[in-house]
Amino acid sequence: MLALPVFYFAGLAAGLLVLVLLAFIDWKIYHLSDRILLKWYHCEAMPLAEYANVHSMLYTFSDKVSIRLPKPFIFESMVPVIFSVGSDDASKIVMSRGLLELLNKRELEAIIAREIARISEGDVAQNTFISMMAGIIASLSTAALWMSMLGGFGQEGDPAPRFIRFVAMGLVMLPAALLVYLGVSDQVLSSDAKATSILGQKDNLASALKRIDTEIRLHSVEYFNPGHAQLFVVNPVKVNSLYDIHLSLFVAKPDMTQRLMALSSSGNVN
């Protein structure tokens, strides 16, 4: 769109130059989007000495499905979440400390196998880029909240700034959600089923999913950017009040009951 007025006012050469520059910027952002999201969550490389079991699981499962070994990262959050980011040639699996502390060994093994199954679908780079862009758009509503507070409209919990954020959410959440729906590929049930094939059984994955879902529903109080919701194995974005109603636009995954029923109806793979 920017190139059109340049073509009109400055001529063909200037317009082509702008197109080339925009294409380069888009390419650069696409290939840096995984690093941006790692910085977003303050992720650190997972130490081999402390988490040798996780590294071993990643090696075993990635070799089993013939994908390049993903690098594990950890970030400080007590909400049990796991997600993958990456570029066309490399993937990273990110786990919260809460996830590592919540699950037992077999459940952790199952949820890692599930993430490997998702990576093997081949759309991590696309999902990373789309989620990063949607997250930036969704963040504008939070920026409106802080600007209203700095402008003298009260504290975070007061009605005025929350209403301003509510209005801002109405403006930015729809395009962010449309971007996610149109651009993110997330075959939830397929990934769940493929994980059971990797594991050779289904019970540990079902147990891990139930434990994560229960912990998020009952105890999670942290805010997660809704633009990133499709990255997570279980969606941690919650609608806590009328002011958060726009977040329901990002609840696109099958609910946990449906996922557990699908797992239950599948047979064990030996």
pLDDT digits (tens, 9 = 90+) for 109-149: 999 999 999 999 988 998 999 999 888 888 876 654 545 44
Phi, psi of 232 (to 5 degrees): -85, 150
173 token code pair: 């959440």
Same domain membership, residue 247 and residue 216:
yes
3-class secondary-structure state, position 55: helix
Closest by CA to 228, choosing from 90, 129, 87, 111, is 129
Rounded to an integer, the average pLDDT of 240-262 is 77
Same domain membership, residue 111 and residue 12:
no
57 token code pair: 């699981």
* Domain hosting residue 52, numbered range: 41-270
Torsion angle, alpha carbons of 146, 252, 187, 23, to 10: -40
Same domain membership, residue 105 and residue 2:
no
Same domain membership, residue 16 and residue 47:
no
Q: Which of 5-9, 203-207, 261-265 has the highest mean pLDDT?
A: 203-207
pLDDT at 192 over 70: yes
Residue of 145 and 40 predicted with greater confidence: 40
Closest by CA to 37, choosing from 128, 110, 117, 150, is 128
Same domain membership, residue 104 and residue 25:
no
Sheet of 71-75, strand order:
44-45, 71-75, 91-96, 82-86
pLDDT digits (tens, 9 = 90+) for 82-117: 999 998 778 999 999 999 999 999 999 999 999 999
Same domain membership, residue 156 and residue 207:
yes
pLDDT band for position 180 (50/70/90)? confident
CATH, residue 107 = 3.30.2010.10
pTM of the predicted protein model: 0.81
CA pair distance 3, 179, nearest whole angstrom:
22
Judge whether 36 lies within some domain: no
Q: Packing angle between helix 188-199 and helix 256-265, nearest 10 degrees?
A: 40
CA pair distance 243, 158, nearest whole angstrom:
12
Same domain membership, residue 175 and residue 226:
yes
pLDDT band for position 4 (50/70/90)? very low
Phi, psi of 47 (to 5 degrees): -65, 135
Cα–Cα distance list, 100 to 3, 68, 104, 182 (Å) = 48, 23, 8, 32
CA-atom Rg of the chain in angstroms: 21
How many domains are there within the chain?
A: 2
